[in-house]
Amino acid sequence: MRHIQLEPVWGGSADTAGTLRATCALALVQCRELNSHRLLIHLVPLFADKELPVRVDAVRAVAQVGTGSAALVLRLRAELASDESALLSTCYSGVLAIEGPSAIPWVAVFLSPEDDAAGEAAWRSHRPFQVWRIIAESLEEQLAPAAKGTCTCPVFAKSATGFQISTRATVETPSS
């Protein structure tokens, strides 16, 4: 995963081993002899790779680790921000895959209209039908135990500027 192969190109040289580094990152996760801590030690340095596809596949590999530590690493990478919506989207998807509906409020923070790249990435982080499924499951979990009262839950709303999410919506549950 450290291999760099410089090949001559017009005006200098270019690294052609990015695909190899990305493939190795994804393959390393399949090594059952390494625990999640050791995997993360090997994968995290790829977050600083010069090639975007390598960074994106490193994020995918960390998401495949699937532990709470991996989710924290992905959260940190997303918080550090980036202009590449593909990278941010992969971070958000990984956190949602690991943590499930409990991560929706965190992803919702990135839907701010001030940061187009982060907002686009947050929206693309899961295919729309998966986002709706996660929201529906979240609502079911929050509403099922409540016989009466209110609960706070994530809600999508269509606006003039696109979809927006609010985690402050209060839903009145019917009294029994």
State residue 88 phi and psi, 5-degree precision: -65, -45
Is 163 contained in some domain?
A: no
CB contact at 8 A, 56 and 87: yes
Total domains in the fold of the chain: 1
108 within some domain: yes
On whether residue 149 sits in a domain, the answer given is: no
Please answer whether residues 110 and 88 qualify as being in contact, where contact means their C-beta atoms are separated by less than 8 angstroms: yes
Q: Regarding predicted confidence, which is higher, 9 or 138? A: 9
41 is a domain residue: yes
Q: What domain range includes position 77? A: 6-142
Q: Which segment of 26-40, 76-90, 127-141 scores lowest on mean pLDDT? A: 127-141
Decide if pLDDT at 38 tops 60. Answer: yes
In the prediction, which pLDDT does 140 show? 60
169 domain-assigned: no
Q: What is the pLDDT of residue 137?
A: 61
DSSP-assigned letter for residue 40: H
36 contact partners, CB below 8 Å, separation of at least 6: 65, 66, 67, 69, 70
